[in-house]
A and B are shown apart, each in its own frame.
Chain A
Amino acid sequence: RKEVEQDPGPFNVPEGATVAFNCTYSNSASQSFFWYRQDCRKEPKLLMSVYSSGNEDGRFTAQLNRASQYISLLIRDSKLSDSATYLCVVNVAGNMLTFGGGTRLMVKP
């Protein structure tokens, strides 16, 4: 079983749609959680950290369920520019990160 699992997609949605991505992690000792965004042939960029209480940043909402070892990302009012691969990232200890395989999102006009 992979340490961090994501549905690879692609998710094809129209502009303005709401889309949700899920991620599960296997190590219950995981401490920190993040969503990164990666555009084609570019480096990953931090989208947002994920906190236990859930957090929101504009159109993006992240939630964490430690009991189920599950993380989610909700994008409201999708824009064309949201098209990218979204990486679920988990930190177990120290500064080392474990990446999920990514979920590809394509927002269509």
Chain B
Amino acid sequence: GAVVSQHPSRVICKSGTSVKIECRSLDFQATTMFWYRQFPKQSLMLMATSNEGSKATYEQGVEKDKFLINHASLTLSTLTVTSAHPEDSSFYICSANAGVAKNIQYFGAGTRLSVL
């Protein structure tokens, strides 16, 4: 079964709307979660590392004020796409490390965002 739950799976919104995506670890605590973005026919690109109780670490070129990350508990990280525009339309996926050695990343089912 899924170890990482992501919600919602699909969002269609108007330009200028803010969209919140939730990522939950199921039955385990995740001090670190990762947020990726995938454009059509491209690979996953890491956007940011979400750290429980502290600020997220953003990859180069990712605007922290545009993509707000909150990791308020050991099982929940949220990504908010603020004032979304059509170019933000993409597949957003979160992940967390699980397993005995915690060296395996499991992914949420992803959120497909379409901004009109």
Contacts and interface: CB of A to CB of B under 8 A. Distances in A.
Interface of A: 32, 34, 41-46, 49, 87, 91, 95-102
B103 A99 contact: no
5 contacts: A34-B104, A43-B108, A95-B103, A96-B49, A97-B46
B104 A101 contact: no
Interface of B: 6, 32, 34, 42-46, 49, 91, 93, 95, 97, 102-110, 112
A41 B112 contact: yes
Contacts of B6: 43
Contacts, number: 44
Contacts of A43: 6, 93, 107-110
B91 A102 contact: no
B43 A99 contact: yes
Contact of B44 (A44, A45, A46, A91): A44
A96 B46 contact: yes
A98 B93 CA distance: 14
B43 A101 contact: yes
Top 8 closest pairs, chain A to chain B, by CB:
A43-B107, A101-B43, A99-B43, A43-B110, A99-B44, A95-B97, A43-B109, A43-B93
